Structure 1
Amino acid sequence: MRTRSLLGLGAAALGGLAAYDLTQRHHAVLRNYPVVGHARYLMERFGPELRQYVVASNDEERPFTRDQRRWVYASSKLENAYVGFGTDNDVERTVGYPIVKHRTFGVGPGTHPHSEEGVPLPGLKVLGGPRGRRHAFTPASVVNISGMSFGSLSHAAVEALDEGAARAGAWHNTGEGGLSPYHRRGADLVFQIGTAYFGCRDAQGRFDLDRLVDLVASAPVRAIEIKLSQGAKPGLGGLLPGAKVTPEIAEIRGIEVGKDCASPSRHTAFSDVDSMLDLVETIADATGLPVGIKSAVGNLDFWEELVAQMSAGDRGVDFVNVDGGEGGTGAAPLIFSDAVAYPFRIGFAEVRRRFDAAGLSDDLTFIGAGKLGIPENAVVAFALGADLVNVGREAMLALGCIQAQKCHTDRCPVGVATQDPRFVRGLDVPLKAERVANYLVSLRRDLLKVAEAVGVDHPARITVDDVDIVDGVTERRSLREVYGYVD
């Protein structure tokens, strides 16, 4: 009797669902295929997970392949990150594949055995030194944490990133969302000024120099970065969905709770290169800190004008952080993520060549961002002339990100890119901080080992002649030739 009752209830439920499907007008699939048509929406819902864990090959997924994620995960846990049997990349048929050219003879006998993880790897330039900034310094790490705001990320994620950066001797960029209590866990900071001036704005949302001076004096801020644009949404301004705007975030940013927070697409404190450089010098004089810019690369007129005005020698930025169009974001329209701004290698090369031609490249530090937390990408960035690299999503992977791509929904299943307490509680800060530190140290180790293979003592000494771009097994060209570098 019980079984018959259950079967009857099931049949009634299916009958009710079929009746609903036949009469509803929103989905043609369900009107034409009642009940069974729901399988289509289930497959669509779980399709990304099925492809990620069942269907896709090791080198197929985007933004980060399974092999790349596996390397980050293993490195962050200090597990065996080696591979066996050889590469499974389709080298024979891949167009634009980078090949590092090792040398038989190089500088010195090598540094340490493969098991030595903690080799220091500072930058080679003094940030702010050429322009005489009062608080100029040499970055302690060539790999640092990129700008990711509290709001886009959870408080636990920001805490773990900051503590991990501190352990690894790296700096932590605050992102444009302001300097929160969770950025004060020991790491050196780069304070990012976005178009909404969070953390240094007055009641009308305008830039406030006095507030900036007070803020940087209250925290271990080592440099200031003016964000002009971001690779994943250039020319758009930051966007924090209302679901993520908690009372705490609203207080830090000076915005309304629960409402979408869309930063302006452009700055109001300056309107051209001339006024931007005036602001750079004003901030540097008031704080004593190095001041630079972060930008994706699109129309090149801006860079031509910046080089021309810096050539006079009286004003200039201390660093340029070039963000590739393949960079990450918490939320952006598809068209901006897919088709606005050059990819890193093209954009960075266009910028660097212009400073080289003007003889200015020794006067500032070049930073790269946009999937550069993977060793081979970072090596190419250094060869193109980067002095430092910033890592964002790769650091999130070290935190436990599973590339669910739900950052814009506030439903990140591992508590990294969400403000929902239900998910945030799963992120253990001390453990994840240790893994972030392990990842940063492991990446530096691999970069140093590649530098040794090339025959130099530091990855920033790798040049455009040390890396070739190959098209399958038929053609090779050096980075110098591909991107038009000259001696």
Structure 2
Amino acid sequence: MSEVLEFIGQIPWWGWLLFVLLLIGISDVFFNRKHTIKHNFPVVGHLRYFLEGIGPELRQYIVANNREELPFNRRERGWIYASAKNVNNYEGFGTDQDIFSTHYIFINNALLPLKLPEDHPNQKNSGLIPCAKVMGGWNKRKRPFRPASIINVSAMSYGSLSAKAIESLNEGCKLSGAYHNTGEGGLSSYHKKGADVVFQIGTGYFGVRDEDGNFSMEKMVQLVKENPQVRAIELKLSQGAKPGKGGVLPAAKISKEISEIRGVPMDKDVISPAYHSAFNSVEEMVEFVEKIAAATGLPVGIKSAVGQLKDWKKLAKIMQEKDHGPDFISIDGGEGGTGAAPPSFADHVSLPWIYAFTDVYKIFQKYELTDRIVFVASGKLGFPAKAAMAFALGADCINVAREAMMSIGCIQAQSCHTNTCPTGVATQNKWLQSGINVNDKAMRTNFYFVKFRKELLQISHACGYEHPCQFTTDDVDINLSDKNLAKTLATTFSYHKDEVNFGSVKELVECAHLGGNLNLEHLQKTEKAID
């Protein structure tokens, strides 16, 4: 026995390596029944699967150039990271964009930029821009809401994102004056850190459902009464990632906390159907919106991706004839989003934001309703130039989701659906979440929003405007083809945006300060830190 041990001890390390490789080779050839590559190329075939596994990282950091990667390229991510960290987010030596590519936009600056008076709110804090319209104003809701920020956090549920991620975003929204949409997963304790909240109702009615899974008006009223930070309610009809498709929350993922928040049992899968059980037609949907608004006193809007237009025309006609309906409409682009979805849905179902929004806006313009509705835009618009384009088309607010995730550390690992997000942002794994410093990430969210708004305002001033709502469809050109290199948005989409009833930013700031979650003192400190 001692001689055997002595012999084993004399075997060099490379000998053991060869022995292990031999065992792997034998296993691949004689016992492997699933992978042809491993069988035909024993040992070496494993390299193929290893490279496939780290392929996204190789392309992201080594292979792809600055403008090549999707859904967000390196330049875009770098701008968000730098803004959130409050470091230099400029670039030098000119653009590396292909400015002649299709859909490239050009913002038409004025000969003389706008000169602000010394007492203008943006002289001291150029990151401050309240929404020019009021949610629930035309419908005379009991508690109308003017968002204190035109850039806000889009719908992302607790469950989809981690507890620390939700908490970081909410505290960041509080610091920057932005509102935080809960997503359809219900109102958690992590949404209650001080920011204004838009509560989203999905097809599962999580948080406001009865024992049978149907919508409960009693619970809705109770939730609003107990949580004054809930300033508006959004009825989700569909989302850009997977419009017209429901979802499943496996029983294994339902913790006691999620069970209580969503109002679902822990011992069985929870189904989110593709349709609502509370209504079956556009007419019934409008009445459902009115019932919720009457019971809660809050403005109520709808969120949807866009495809067929017949029901949108029906909605506009009903609103014109009955003089009531949604207070705001969130248009989600088919570019996908944070929700896990089959590739066929994410790639092909529903229109991209720019086509979706312009189709819907023209319908409501035809029925002379654009002054009544706050249009919320969502679909990879988390950058100042893209936001300016959205405002030129008629948007009143921008909601950001993946961009907000990046501000708190998301690295676009694209593993949101696997519960293995390496940054802890989109996972329920406690260990992976432990690396998130909530105070630090909240401040990064704050800096991202303030820098975003500041740069958007600077673009507005360069075009001679005080507020982005003053952009028109003639202020932005878009490349169409080699033959017609660029046309205005007005020419391209065949409409002129209706003028927004805008007085001054000073008036909006005063209104937002009185009625919204707007911490002027903190914003001024943030501005000094940025400068």
Q: When the two structures are superposed, what TM-score results if normalisation uses the length of structure 1?
A: 0.96
1:9 counterpart residue number: 16
Q: What amino acid is the match of 1:331?
A: A
**1:344 aligned residue:** 353
1:128 aligns with 2:136: yes
Check 1:110–1:39 CA distance in 2 against 1; reply closer, same or farther (3 A cut). farther
d(CA) in 2 for partners of 1:341, 1:312: 28
Residue equivalent to 1:366: 375
- Look up the match of 1:401: 410
Write the deviation string for residues 290-326 of structure 1: whole angstroms up to 9, x where unpaired: 0000000011111011001001143211000000001
Structure 1 residue identity aligned to 2:363:
R
The offset of 1:453, in angstroms, is 1.2
Over 3 Å counting, the alpha-carbon distance change for 1:480 and 1:4 in structure 2 is: same
Deviating more after overlay: 406-415 vs 471-480: 471-480
Between stretches 153-162 and 452-461, larger displacement belongs to 452-461
Q: What CA distance in whole angstroms lies between the structure 2 residues aligned with 1:357 and 1:203?
A: 43
- Match runs of 1:466-485 below 5 Å: 466-471=475-480, 475-485=485-495
CA separation in 2, counterparts of 1:448 and 1:110?
A: 15
Question: Is 1:90 the counterpart of 2:102 in the alignment?
Answer: no
Cα distance in 2, alignment partners of residues 63 and 342 from structure 1: 16
CA contact (8 A) 1:198 1:254 kept: yes
Give the 3-state SS of the residue equivalent to 1:395 in structure 2. Answer: helix
CA offsets 1:238-265 (integer angstroms, 9 cap, x no match): 4546664333212221334486544110
Larger Rg: 2
**Correspondence for 2:319:** 310
| C-alpha displacement of 1:221 | 0.5
Q: Deviations over 1:48-81 (max 9, x none)?
A: 0000011110001111110000000000011000
2:80 counterpart of 1:59: no
Q: Does 1:216 align with 2:212?
A: no
Moved more, 370-379 or 335-344: 370-379
Counterpart Cα distance in 1 of 2:125 and 2:55: 39
Q: How does 1:313-328 map to 2 (within 5 A)?
A: 313-328=322-337
Other structure's SS at 2:321 match: coil
Q: Any conservation in 2 of the 1:147–1:173 contact (CA below 8 Å)?
A: yes
SS at match of 1:312: helix
Cα offset, 1:110, TM superposition: 7.7
Q: Secondary structure at the match of 2:389?
A: helix
Distance in 2, matches of 1:110 and 1:98, equals 30
Separation of aligned partners in 2, 1:344 and 1:259: 36
After TM superposition, give the deviation of residue 109 of structure 1 in Å: 4.3
Matched, 1:428 2:462: no
> 4+ residue runs of structure 1 moved beyond 6 angstroms?
110-116
Identical residues among aligned pairs (%): 49
Give ranges in structure 1 of 5+ residues lacking alignment: none
Structure 2 counterpart of 1:172, from 175, 180, 186: 180
Whether 1:301 and 2:310 are equivalent positions in the alignment is: yes
Counterparts of 1:277 and 1:113 in 2: how far apart (Å)? 39
More moved, 150-159 vs 370-379: 370-379
**Which residue is 2:282 aligned to?**
273
Aligned equivalents of 1:261, 1:386: Cα separation in 2: 35
Aligned to 2:258: 249
CA apart distance, 1:283 = 0.7
- Name the counterpart of 2:53: 45
Distance 1:344 1:424 in 2: 32
* 1:159 equivalent among 141, 152, 167: 167
Q: Supply the distance in 1 between the matched residues of 2:133 and 2:108 (Cα, whole angstroms).
A: 25
2:194 is matched by which residue type in structure 1?
G
What is the one-letter code of the residue matched to 1:318? D
Letter in 2 for 1:417: A
The answer as to whether partners of 1:295 and 1:321 remain within 8 angstroms in 2 is yes
Question: Which is further off, 257-266 or 294-303?
Answer: 257-266
Alignment of 1:103-118 (within 5 A): 103-109=110-116
Match of 1:449 in 2: 458
1:477 match: secondary structure: strand
Q: Deviations over 1:441-480 (max 9, x none)?
A: 1110111011111111111211110000125776111111
Paired amino acid for 2:201 = I
* Letter paired with 2:475: D
CA–CA separation in structure 2 for the residues paired with 1:162 and 1:38: 44
Give the conservation status (yes or no) of the 8 Å contact 1:103–1:453. Answer: yes
Q: Is the 2:185–2:262 contact (alpha carbons within 8 Å) kept by the matching residues of 1? A: yes
One-letter code aligned to 1:384: L
Corresponding residue of 2:293: 284
2:174 and 2:196 in contact (8 A); partners too: yes
* Partner of residue 207 from structure 1, selected from 215, 218, 232: 215
Other structure's SS at 1:390 match: strand
Distance (whole Å) between structure 2 residues aligned to residue 34 and residue 275 of structure 1: 63
SS at match of 1:407: coil
| Residue aligning to 1:100 | 107
Q: Is the 8 A contact 2:251 2:269 kept in 1?
A: yes
| Aligned partner of residue 132 in structure 2, secondary structure | coil
Bigger mean CA offset, 402-411 vs 21-30: 21-30
Alignment of 1:229-248 (within 5 A): 229-240=238-249, 244-248=253-257
SS of the counterpart of 2:391?
helix
Partner residue, 1:379 = 388
Deviation at 1:379, TM superposition (A): 1.4
SS at match of 1:96: coil
Separation (CA, whole Å) in 2 of partners of 1:286 and 1:255:
24
Relative to structure 1, the CA distance from residue 69 to residue 88 in structure 2 (aligned partners, 3 Å threshold; closer, same or farther) is same
C-alpha separation between the residues in 1 aligned to 2:253 and 2:337?
18
> 235-244 vs 369-378, which deviates more?
235-244
| Aligned residue-pair number | 486
Partner Cα distance (2:115, 2:37) in 1: 68
Per-residue CA distance 1:148-198 (angstroms, 9 max, x = gap): 000000000000000000000010000000000111000010000000000
Match for residue 150 of structure 2 among 132, 142, 146: 142
